Amino acid sequence: MPAEVTDATFADEVLTSEVPVLVDFWAPWCPPCLKLNPILEALAEEYGDRLRFVKLNSDDNPRTTLAYHVQSMPTLAVFRKGEVIGRLVGMRAKFTLRNELDEILSSSS
């Protein structure tokens, strides 16, 4: 299950991570965000130690949301060594999301 991060924990949990991290920028009022939850949970299990999954409630953590120019929900940003290496906006099917994540991870290794 993806861990929750906040403005206060973002740097330690995401930017300094030894493994790539997918950050789910979401909001409780966003229906596509809620539909994406079970897909992200399943993919987190599939990827195991290759990709860490975390969630950031954009309403409660505006500093990080603004810093990464998140304007639409859900936004998924993949970080490696403190840098955004991929960004996906909107709801996706599990198969599509897995393919896009594989491409992001392989093209920027």
Q: Distance between CA 109 and CA 5 in Å, rounded?
A: 24
Report pLDDT for 108: 59
Instruction: Parse the chain into domains and list their residue ranges.
Output: 3-107
Alpha helices in the chain (DSSP H): 10, 31-47, 62-67, 94-107
> Which active-site residues does the annotation give?
30, 33
Q: Distance between CA 52 and CA 14 in Å, rounded?
A: 9
CATH architecture of the region 3-107: 3-Layer(aba) Sandwich (3.40)
Report pLDDT for 44: 97
The whole-number mean pLDDT for each consecutive block of 10 residues of the chain, a chain of 109 residues, reads: 94 97 98 97 96 98 97 97 97 97 86
Report pLDDT for 109: 55
State both tokens at 1: 């299950």
